[in-house]
Structure 1
Amino acid sequence: MDHAAFARFWRNEIPRAAERDSYQNHWRGLCEIVRHPFPGVDPNYKFERKVQKVGTKDTGFADVYKAKHFIAEYKRPGRDLGAARQQAALYAWELGNPPLLITSDFARIEVNTAFTGTSPKTYLIGLDDIEHNQVIKGGDLTALEILNSAFHAPENLDPRHFRERLTTTATRQVGQVALRMGQREGKARAAHMMMRLVFALFAEDVTLLERGLVTRVLERSRAHPENSQAYFQELFRAMKGGGEFWGHDIQHFNGGLFDEADALAITSDEAAALVEAAQLDWSEVEPSIFGTLFENGLDEDTRSRRGAHYTSVTDIERVVDRVVMEPLWAEWDALRHGLQKMKRQQRIEQLFAFQDRVRGVRVLDPACGSGNFLFVALKKLLDLEYQIRSAVTMNGVGEFEMPPLVHPKQMLGLEIEPFAHELASITLWMGYIQWKRAHGGHWETPILQHLNNIQNRDALLNPDGTEAQWPDAEFIVGNPPFLGDKMMRAQLGGEYTNTLRGVYADRLPAQSDLVCYWPEKARAMVESGVTRRAGFVATNSIRGGKNRVVLDRIKATGDIFMAWPDEPWEQNGAAVRVSLFAFDKGMETQKTVNDQFVSDITADLTSRIDVKSAVKLSENGGRSFIGTQKGGAFDIPAELAQQWINAPNPDGVENADVLKPWVNGMDLTRRPSNRWIIDFALMSEMEASRYLMPMAYVVQHIQPVKSQNRRENRARHWWRFDEPASNLRAGLAGLTRFIGIPRVAKHLLPVWLPEGTLPDSQVVSIARDDDFTFGVLASTTHRCWARAQGTYMGVGNDLRYTPSTCFETFPFPDPAPEQRADIEKWARFVVTMREHLLAQDTKATLTGLYNDVVRLRAEPDATHPVTALVKAHADLDKAVAAAYGWDWPLSEDDVLARLLALNLERAATA
């Protein structure tokens, strides 16, 4: 039958319907509507799926179950569907937590979402809705679209799809008003006014205020903007302590948000825009993104200055699940399975005791921003408590004899920015109210309570410059601000930066990024036993260089049990890479990297061989250099340089002395830019002035800017580079060519550079001119070492080649003459093959060639021209391995283990 016939049939059949003998026919009718098979004998889709009741030896039966889709429970016509939803929720725990809980009394079908990390959403579908395929209230989907999705694609009903659209629209509409108001009244006052107004709209749509009341205030304000301030003052005063407003009783809200009845006037146009915004369903706003969108829209400059970022719900869940919920779920599972051995009264006592355990949990986010981590943690604790309350019901005690006790006060936060701090409290309350509205429970008075657990203060330093202390918490999670060590002084101020580094000097190097201070403080709390587990989202630069000290310290006093070492992350259009990690005192035995079980996690957040103990080798010392740092527009086109080279000077000096071919990292990875550079090295101003045309150019284009440099030495020597790299010049002296490696690149690409070339700071120069060194550096063996010892940058996760770790620690092979000759042969052929391929296509680049190399290694194609380069590298790898005395190929772990052993052996005998 079609949907209209289904509705007409069951409208007449309902008086005779009984749950057990009718629900299967009702369900088969739904299957026909959405063209889906009937349940059969498959345990993953069947009627009356057997489920063991929590804590008992008894079994129950889910009326309909489809794995990874839904559990459906029926009740007789007119019965409370809340009890059916509670039963389905309890079965869901035993059946893998499918994302939908469907309940029905034949006349009504409730589709309740239960997607992880979201506030629940309910679609209530009546027979009329099915007959006429109407859009269901509270969403933008029709009855048949919802039913089709439930059977075929439940992910379509994930509230985030609808709520993100709604939240973005809502935030944009009120944000535009707030920005105009902020220009008139000041950003802070406008933000506070808009937060109270937004919460009033939310309260109206969750029926804590009379429906339409705030809309009427806005409509009156549009007609009489001169009275708008008085209208809102009267409303906020009533919400502050409860009372009467425009003929309606107002509940007691307060909670800090309405401590003051002060309000701002709005213009007629602003009121009109807010009337439009009020038509949205504010009860559906997603707290986990609303706060951040609102915050960024109004206070983007401040948050950017401090390096704060929005974290996706998916990333938050990865941390919160492993750090907070995993041990609690394990405790709950142990209790559930043990209950069946207990007598009824003991079961009840144990369940009440475990509820006390859950309500005693304290979760701290010491850089909480607008509260997203805390909101997700709170919702998950509420979900767990709901399981406990449902289990009490199944063990013979009425639901409301175990009232909900999990509360926003369990979420502890530190936030230095006043606006974000206030938003964190609102995010928690909105999420808490949404959850209670969906699951039942009484409203407390006041509805909003003061959350002194969210503190507005610096997480690292006290006002007197001493180390700040964090509140005691069983779990610590968060996304600390991202600021590189070189940006800290500019963004946070010199005095604060110096004090911070001084206070933590015995724990972290001064070159540590700001993000490192949060996991170090959490590590100390875990070590002391105050905190059980901690987990963070950080930039992936935490894995290398001086930053890795914090992870080394975590490994020394405990252990890392979860890591996502390198994840893409987009923030305000800028792509970065992040690492997620979690640690404890070494008690957790289940360790995962990228969600795969491993035996150990190293301080670089991988499971591979940890090469951190490698030391610099004396034979590599004085061979690798970072290039020059200009500090101004000293580079010029080649054509201009050639004109000047031929121009005379009155003292007889030649301009060729100070004009040199120049390369940066992109000249190596792409096509050469053919730029030259004016290089006065360490000349005095008088000496540099002898070169008339180059000096005239520098005076015109560089002196006006550089003479204002805040570093006195750079301003005084404005004709010189910021970093002239004297050691580089000395190291390359006498060489007819040398090796250049891009400092940051997708592929490790050594190239030959001719004598006289001046490299930029984005090029690492190796002062060797032999094919043997070039071949070893171009091999897979060296690439493995560099990837383990370097750091990574940008959306492409490009390798940052650091000479102190990648080159100076690398143990070169000690080959026999014939082995050396073999490496030299293949090294020369690799270069020849590169040059040949680049000559065939004027648009080809070295990066492009090696993109093809990587692809062809995975998917060979003998007809592709780059196959010859792939073959050359394969032969080079074999030749290098033979020089070490190794069979080839080897796994990356094997290569690293052998190189580390060789490094330590060389260091011991040096």
Structure 2
Amino acid sequence: MNAVEIEAAISALAEQSFDGVEFPFAFLEAFGNKATTIKRLRTGSTNKSDVGGLLQTNNIHIAVAESGAVSKTLEALKASPATSRAKAKFILATDGKDFEAEDLQSGETVACAYQDFPDHFGFFLPLAGISTVKQISDNAFDIRATSRLNRLYLELLKDNPDWGSEAQRHEMNHFMARLIFCFFAEDTDIFSGTDLFTDTITKMSARDSANTHEVIGEIFRAMNTAHDLREKAKLPRWTNGFPYVNGGLFSGSVEVPRFSKISRSYLLHIGSLDWTQINPDIFGSMIQAVADEEERGSLGMHYTSVPNILKVLNPLLLDDLREQLEQAKDSSRKLLNLRNRLARIRVFDPACGSGNFLVIAYKQMREIENIINERRGETGRKSDIPLTNFRGIELRDFSAEIARLALIIAEYQCDVRYRGQQEALQEFLPLDAENWITQGNALRLDWFSICPPTGTGVKHHSDDLFEETNQAEIDFENEGGETYICGNPPYLGSTWQSAEQKHDLKRIFEGRTKSWKSLDYVAGWFMKAADYGLHTPAASAFVSTNSICQGQQVPILWPLIFESGHEITFAHASFKWANLASHNAGVTVVIVGISNQTGQVRRLYSKETVKYDGTARYDASIFYDGTTRRDVSNINAYLVAAPHVVVHKASKPSDGRGIIEAGGKPVEGGNLLLNAMQAAEIIKNYPSAKRFIKRVYGASEYIRGDIRYCIWISDSDMPEAANIADFGLRFEAVAKARRKSSKVTTQNGAQWPYKFEEAKQDGDERVIIVPKVSSETREYLPVGLLPPGSIITDLAFGIFDAPLWNLALIASRLHLVWIAIVCGKMKTDFRYSNTLGWNTFPVPTLTEKNKSDLTRCAEDILLAREAHFPATIADLYKPDSMPDNLRAAHEHNDEVLERIYIGRRFKNDTERLEKLFELYTKMTSSSKKAGTV
């Protein structure tokens, strides 16, 4: 369960009549415990409470107290030996009137009336495996409001199914945006009179909800009608208290879906929340899921934390503004210049969603402006920062609408905070109709029509801020100075792109590169940002999957970016972009900032620990979350502080190491590959067949220990093998399957049905095996030594009869970090490549002593594994349970190899990569001079 679902479940529990017997079970069920778990607790088989309560091991000890004895019962739970034995994280006591709980690990407590315990739902989220508790606690209101709006939305669709159709979806979404505004307005004095909207519906609509839609429709009509026109509009007198809002929010149709008694109750319940607590920078990203059928199943999980967004905005523009503020100190002139600069900065998010980046940028800039005003003695001064300078493009109309509303709310909240409630109210209404969020496809729209170059005007016009638009419609002159483009565009690897999305990339990249089909969808935003920067000074930064800075996408995308005159000005190396899902699930991303107006210093951020040795090169700033920042002279496309270089495939290594080749490709229709039972049956019936049956290895066979065999026959042995009847039947089946293939090479393979279609070994060699794909969770690549007579399939690579020191290279941390960044990944797993990874891997010239030392390291690794037979590679290389002797063997291998490179151990992976790129640059330069590439 996610946070929104949990909040809804415990709120429903609190609304029910208290049942002391059922409460503990219902409470656990609300936090996602399965029916089978609850059943076992009910029967007592897993309930080890010693105070007559309910004890769930490693989780919580709950007891229902006698009336008035809640505190005493909580103390008994805390002192209980069973609580300690079961390692309970929480204790909870209630009598249905009072409610008390304690987190035994942190010592934090909750004490409230029973009906109010849902207000503290974030306190208990570790019970559901959700670790982002602080983020949720900080934004508890947004989750509760989202939960209630979701219930209302679904209930309205149940009663008004036509409102969920494609034709009326926009109207439904627009209706929800209107409601959000009304709830916010009545709690923040934008509407005169407390709870004006909710109270009016309570009083004027019938309890059976028969006319609720009509009452709401009249309220909406009033807010779209100026007061001097209301009599003519024949509005009822009870609507006079509602202000004229304008801005298009209440224009157009005032049709409202019909309400049932249940949905009316939900509406009033939502109105009872304290909407002054809304966080527009967070709320929008969750509320957009309410109206998106595809996202509703993961409601509350699409959360972008403020710290993550600031990872983009701080280095893009905010750090520079704060530095200038610090340098200005109390200089009135410098402060005035900075304030004027702030007023002319435009922030443009061409994938703005519900406006998170824009809202946070606006709020941060208002905070800086307020400090300026305070230092100049102008506290409470009207802001010079216009909302029109915060512009966006969003594909979904409801998200675009929420983005506009979020910015309006953010502006009002900032005015209240920095100018006071009275001044904020005086200037808030009526809303302006300027349209700064455009609904449409960002990769097809002309960005210059939305955020034009400095000094030009925009002549497109919109009368309606909240009108659904399919093109840029802006009715104000551009006053921007600097332009900053930012956001979190959709990633979508090439495999998952729709035909329409493929066409979007084709429009951008066709004619520039023939390989554009391999690019992630997010690459389109980087290219359009670079194109934008060709015509006006701008800096851009996007969140992206790290795949655009790895493997095959680097030589496709980044030369085009660099050719446009842009450089990488800052970057965050790979980190988890977390959300509110259980266990803090998230995708691995990078943040890349580009600009054609670069200084001499670039900033590289990383979550790696930096060890200091006094050298300036590794001096770094360390932030509260463990992120380090280093100032470097260049950042290349792999996000390494090294010269610009693209790693290209090489046909073979440039030194004397072994040649890695792909294993054999069977293409045999299931007839040459055998499981253990099939192999044993053939040998039982035909003992002479034993020498033709060999152990076969692909990735799973080597890593997980799966046992498979294959029939392996050379041309010279075919006459003898033909006498084995079972083989003959299998060969006929192989030939038949290959003849049916549409590939000519496979059809030709029907001539030798007793062999793999492709095979690069004779079957008697010693083989160093490297699986093509392996898990990213391992600290070392799985590489091993197979005995002579082992066959590898095309799911693995092999070095045949190679010296053992080759294995030491592949088993090193150095090689893993090179493969991870140069070869890229398949989903999140390492994807090995011989031509791109092994053949390009920079290795210093090795002496015979070096090779001897590395050979011994390889032997030590193999012996350490052997000591744990029959444990598999999958078992041995689990990060949390890797055997000490095996880890020590790898550590020694790393030390020996790294001393060959630089005379000491590397400090971290960042330093490893920098050295490897330095060597690769030298290696390719010398090859070019020698004419070998």
Give the TM-score taking structure 1 as reference length: 0.66
Conserved in 2, the CA contact under 8 Å of 1:641 and 1:659? no
Q: CA deviation at 1:737?
A: 4.0
Spell out the pairing of 1:218-617 with structure 2 (5 A cutoff).
218-219=201-202, 221=205, 223-243=207-227, 246=238, 248-260=240-252, 261-299=254-292, 301=294, 310-333=303-326, 335-339=328-332, 355-393=339-377, 402-439=381-418, 440=420, 441-442=423-424, 443-444=426-427, 446-462=429-445, 471-472=451-452, 474-489=483-498, 492=500, 495-496=503-504, 498-502=506-510, 505=513, 509-528=516-535, 530-549=536-555, 550-555=557-562, 557-571=565-579, 574-594=585-605, 595-604=628-637, 606-610=639-643, 612-617=645-650
- Cα distance in structure 1, aligned partners of 2:666 and 2:242: 66
Letter in structure 1 aligned against 2:306: V
In the alignment, structure 1 residue 638 sits paired with structure 2 residue 675: yes
Separation in structure 2 between the aligned mates of residue 175 and residue 412 of structure 1, nearest angstrom: 28
Aligned to 1:623: 660
- CA distance in structure 2 between the partners assigned to 1:741 and 1:173 by the alignment: 53
- Between stretches 168-177 and 181-190, larger displacement belongs to 181-190
Matches within 5 A, 1:123-134: none
- Could you say what secondary structure the match of 1:483 adopts? coil
Against the structure 1 CA distance between its residues 531 and 160, is the aligned structure 2 distance closer, same or farther, given a 3 Å change threshold? farther
Separation of aligned partners in 1, 2:586 and 2:119: 33
SS at match of 1:455: strand
Look up the equivalent residue of 2:889 and give its one-letter code: L
Match of 1:196 in 2: 178
Between the aligned partners of 1:320 and 1:392, the Cα distance in structure 2 is 26
> Paired residue for 1:744?
774
Paired position in structure 2 for 1:857: none
8 Å contact from structure 2 (residues 492, 520) kept in 1: yes
Give the whole-Å Cα distance in 1 for the aligned partners of 2:432 and 2:340: 21
Alignment of 1:778-789 (within 5 A): 778-783=811-816, 785-787=818-820, 789=822
Cα contact 1:625–1:764 (8 A) shared by 2:
yes
Give, as a single letter, the amino acid of the residue that structure 2 aligns with 1:588. G
1:293, CA displacement in angstroms?
Answer: 0.7
Distance in structure 2 (CA, Å) of the matches to 1:636 and 1:274:
64
Which of 196, 220, 230 aligns to 1:213? It is 196
Q: Secondary structure at the match of 1:776?
A: helix
- 2:768 maps to a residue whose letter is I
Shift of 1:198: 1.9
**Counterpart Cα distance in 1 of 2:690 and 2:792:** 16
Measure the CA separation in 1 of the matches of 2:450 and 2:709.
55
Mean Cα deviation higher: 900-909 or 292-301: 900-909
DSSP-derived class of the 1:538 partner: strand
Quote the offset at 1:522 in angstroms: 1.5
CA displacement 1:685-712 (0-9 Å, x = unmatched): xxxx99879999999xx99xxx9xxxx9
Q: Measure, in 2, the Cα distance between the counterparts of 1:844 and 1:159.
A: 35
Q: Distance in 2 between matches of 1:267 and 1:692?
A: 71
Whether the 8 Å contact between 1:785 and 1:806 is mirrored in structure 2 is yes
SS in 2 for 1:169: helix
Where structure 2 has 5 or more consecutive residues not aligned to the other structure, the ranges are 1-110, 121-132, 228-234, 454-482, 606-627, 714-725
Instruction: Give secondary structure in 2 for the equivalent of 1:534.
Output: strand
Structure 1 pair 765/844, CA: closer, same or farther in 2 (3 Å)? Answer: closer
Amino acid in structure 2 at the alignment position of 1:320: L
CA contact (8 A) 1:516 1:547 kept: no
In the alignment, residue 387 of structure 1 is paired with which amino acid?
Answer: I
Question: In 2, distance between residues paired with 1:470 and 1:303?
Answer: 30
1:176 to 151, 154, 170: 151
Question: Could you say if the C-alpha distance between residues 654 and 844 of structure 1 is closer, same or farther in structure 2, counting changes exceeding 3 Å?
Answer: closer
Structure 1 461/899 Cα, relative in aligned 2: closer, same or farther at 3 Å? closer
Between the aligned partners of 1:635 and 1:565, the Cα distance in structure 2 is 46
Find the counterpart in structure 1 of residue 918 from structure 2. Answer: 897
Secondary structure at the aligned position of 2:705 is classed as coil
- Write the letter of the residue equivalent to 1:481: P
In 2: Cα distance, 1:301 partner to 1:899 partner: 46
Residue 186 (1) aligns with residue 164 (2): yes
- 8 Å contact 1:370–1:421 — kept in the other structure? yes
For the residues of structure 1 that align with 2:318 and 2:507, how far apart are their CA atoms? 37
Offset at 1:484? 0.5
Distance 2:668 2:293 in 1: 29
| Structure 1 portions without partners, runs of 5+ | 1-132, 143-157, 340-346, 681-688, 854-863
Indicate how the Cα distance of structure 1 residues 776 and 180 shifts in structure 2: closer, same or farther if over 3 A, else same: same
Q: CA deviation at 1:672?
A: 1.3
**Cα gap change, 1:510/1:849 in structure 2, threshold over 3 Å: closer, same or farther?**
closer
Correspondence for 1:673 among 706, 722, 725:
706
Percent of pairs with identical residues = 22
Q: CA offsets, 1:55-108, max 9 Å, x none?
A: xxxxxxxxxxxxxxxxxxxxxxxxxxxxxxxxxxxxxxxxxxxxxxxxxxxxxx
Shift of 1:279: 1.3
Aligned counterpart in structure 2 of residue 165 of structure 1, from 140, 145, 155:
140
The 1-side partners of 2:763 and 2:540 are apart by 55
Rounded Cα–Cα distance in structure 1 between residues aligned with 2:891 and 2:195: 74
Q: Which moved more, 1:376-385 or 1:734-743?
A: 734-743
Cα distance in 2 between the residues matched to 1:359 and 1:300: 39
User: How far has the Cα of 1:364 moved from its partner?
Assistant: 0.4
- Gap change, CA 1:852 and 1:659, over 3 Å in 2: closer
Aligned length: 696
**For the residues of structure 2 that align with 1:610 and 1:447, how far apart are their CA atoms?**
55
What is the Cα deviation at residue 540 of structure 1?
1.4
Asked whether the equivalents of residues 475 and 531 of structure 1 are also in contact (C-alpha less than 8 Å), the reply is no
For the 8 Å contact 2:491–2:545, the answer to whether it is kept is yes
Judged with a 3 Å threshold, the aligned counterparts in structure 2 of structure 1 residues 898 and 323 are, in CA distance, closer, same or farther, namely closer
Partner of 1:776 in structure 2?
809
2:842 is the alignment partner of 1:831: no
Secondary structure at the aligned position of 1:848 is classed as: coil
Per-residue deviation at 1:208? 1.4
| Shift of residue 510, structure 1, vs aligned partner | 3.3
- Quickly say closer, same or farther: Cα 1:359–1:798, change in 2 above 3 A: same
AA aligned opposite 1:482:
Y
Which residue identity is paired with 1:522?
A
